Amino acid sequence: MSAPSAPVPAVPGVPGVAGNAAIQLIALVVMLAAWEVAVRALDVSPGKLPPPSAVFATMWSGRVALAGAVGTTLYEALLGLAAGIVFGVLSGISFSRFRLLERMLLPYFVASQAVPIIAFGAIIVMWFGNGVASKAVIATYLSFFPVAVNTLTGIRRVNPEEVGLLRTFGAGTMEILWKLQLPTALPSIFTAVRLAVGLAMVGAIVGEWFGASQGLGVVLLTAMFDNHVEQLWAGILLTGVTGTALFAAVVLLQRKFVWWHADG
């Protein structure tokens, strides 16, 4: 019942996140250079594939609007992610407490991970309107399920004898939860959060497709309708950078808070 594998576990055969980041950065630069050279050498029409220099020029001239778009999407994704984590952890805890609740609902939670629940996004936008709220709600429910499932599996990993021991020393339920169960579950919660970061970004962007005035999804969609390929690539690159930054932030937090657990 482990969570679906994280988006990028790590490049096999390359040690450490820092090494990975360096290699990715080099790969990115090499790819951009090859792209630029290929487009110029093969004389590809910029309407099909613009050279990166043209994309960066578009980004620079539209920097204010694009920064606003990144800000909006990031805000929606973060808001949704935060709510998803809070509700996810709370329901994971309730599942671990109330066996019947778990047996009633967990099968649906697990099944939800095998289903494009993002399709409900259209209905969510219908309910919550064109503003930030509907996107945040989509990001919330997408990130909620993996966090709930992994919180439960994490808490289940606690040795019952340790709970018994703490109880003998007079620890209350809340204290056991706070000092033993949640810390034990933290690595597995973080695994889910890493997955949830990507889901929240996708939720925010797809939510914007159903109706919004600002955001990366809007940039992508209007560029598609205007056949503005430079703008489209600008949107793609910014989406990648924003998502990667968010993911990196989670990895850093994980290292700070789960220093005892060597997992990426």
Partner 1 sequence: MSDMPANKTGEGAWRRRYSLLWPPALAAILILAAWELSIWLFKLPNFVLPTPQEILVAAIQDRGQVLHDTWATLVESLVGYVAGSVLGLGIALLFVTFPRVERALLPAYVTINSVPMVAYGPLAIIWLGIGASSKITLIIIAVSYSILINALAGLRSCDPGAISLLRTFGASERTILLKLRLPAAMPAIFSGLRVAVVHAMILAVVLEMLGAREGLGWTVFKSTQMMDFVAAWVAVGATVIVSLAIYSVVNWIGHKLVWW
Within 27-56, the residues that bind partner 1 by CB under 8 A are 27-28, 30-31, 48
Within 8 A by CB and 6+ apart from 246, the residues are 74, 77, 78, 197, 200, 201
Which member of 116, 168, 170, 213 binds partner 1 (CB under 8 A)? 116
Q: How far apart are CA 95 and CA 106, in angstroms?
A: 8
Is 216 a binder of partner 1 (CB under 8 A)? yes
Residue 14: CB minimum distance to partner 1, A = 9
Q: How many residues does the chain have?
A: 264
Nearer to partner 1, 154 or 215 (CB): 215
Residue 229: CB minimum distance to partner 1, A = 7
Quote helix, strand, coil % in the chain, to nearest 5.
80, 0, 20
**Per-residue contact flags (x/-) with partner 1 for residues 71 to 100, judged by CB under 8 A:** -----------------------------x
Is 210 a binder of partner 1 (CB under 8 A)? yes
Q: Which residue has the tokens 């990715």?
A: 24
**Per-residue contact flags (x/-) with partner 1 for residues 118 to 147, judged by CB under 8 A:** xxx-xx-xxx--------------------
Q: How far apart are CA 69 and CA 75, in angstroms?
A: 10
| CA end-to-end span of the chain | 21
Residue 161: Cβ within 10 Å count: 8
Q: Which backbone phi and psi does 244 adopt, to 5 degrees?
A: -65, -40
Q: Which residue has the tokens 């973060």?
A: 78
As given in the structure block, the two tokens for residue 128 are 């919550």
User: Which region among 56-64, 102-110, 147-155, 159-167 touches partner 1 (by CB under 8 A)?
Assistant: 102-110
As given in the structure block, the two tokens for residue 94 are 């309730």
Residues that bind partner 1 (CB under 8 A): 4-5, 7-9, 11-13, 23-24, 26-28, 30-31, 48, 100, 103-105, 107-108, 111, 113-120, 122-123, 125-127, 198, 201-202, 205-206, 209-210, 216, 220-221, 223-224, 227, 229, 232-233, 235-237, 239-240, 243-244
